[in-house]
Amino acid sequence: MTISHDRGRTSLYGVHAHAESLEDAVSTLDGCCVRAPIGEEADVAMARKVIRQLAPRGGLSEAAAHALATAVSEIARNIVVHAAVGELSVCVVHDCDRRGLIVVACDTGPGIPDPERAMQDGYSTVESLGLGLSSARRLVDDFALASAPGRGTTVILKKWAS
């Protein structure tokens, strides 16, 4: 099941995407994209650093960069806690008349049995506040989540320059 949130609209549809490969180190895909493995808490901090470094190239303000870095932290931490390993791809994009960053987080973990419920504030399968996914959705401009039990999870975050 996939959940998509685009500027205030949320829809559900049955599409699933998952990770294709994992890199051993942060690597540049081209001049505008960076790929980073996620497998331990230190990788969560590295993911935040990647966002902060690419944010100016995407035209993001300091506040927008901070919001995206916080959302990425939540998603990366979910990978560490629930899937053990995964990967982030962060790309600077120019889409018609706007610029920004797109983050794709993938894992091949157990997946989310009920993505719609997992997006609700306060829902947690571990002892936490249960605000990670829902907060990440609120902090970005566009949000999509694809997951199925046994097939992993993919989250796409987009933050556009003002």
Q: Which of 22-26, 32-36, 89-93, 100-104 has the lowest mean pLDDT?
A: 22-26
**What sign does the dihedral 130-35-48-8 (CA atoms) show?**
negative
What is the average pLDDT value for the chain, to the nearest integer?
A: 80
Nearest to 71 by CA among 143, 19, 154: 143
* H or E element, residue 138: helix 132-139
Is the pLDDT at 99 greater than 70? The verdict is yes
Mapped onto helix, strand or coil, the DSSP state of residue 1 is coil
Percent of the chain with pLDDT over 70: 74
Spatial separation of the C-alpha atoms in residues 86 and 31, rounded to whole Å: 22
Q: Are 151 and 18 in contact (CB under 8 A)?
A: yes
- Separation of first and last alpha carbons in the chain: 31
Query: Residue 44: helix, strand or coil by DSSP?
Result: helix
> pLDDT confidence of 117, banded at 50, 70, 90?
confident
Indicate the pTM of the whole model.
0.78
Per-residue pLDDT, averaged over 108-126, amounts to: 76
State pLDDT tens for residues 82-92: 899 999 999 99
What pLDDT is recorded for position 31?
55
Identify the three-state secondary structure at position 83.
helix
How confident is residue 76, by pLDDT bands cut at 50, 70 and 90?
A: very high
The whole-angstrom separation of Cα 68 and Cα 64 is 6
Do residues 102 and 158 touch, judged by C-beta distance below 8 A? Answer: yes
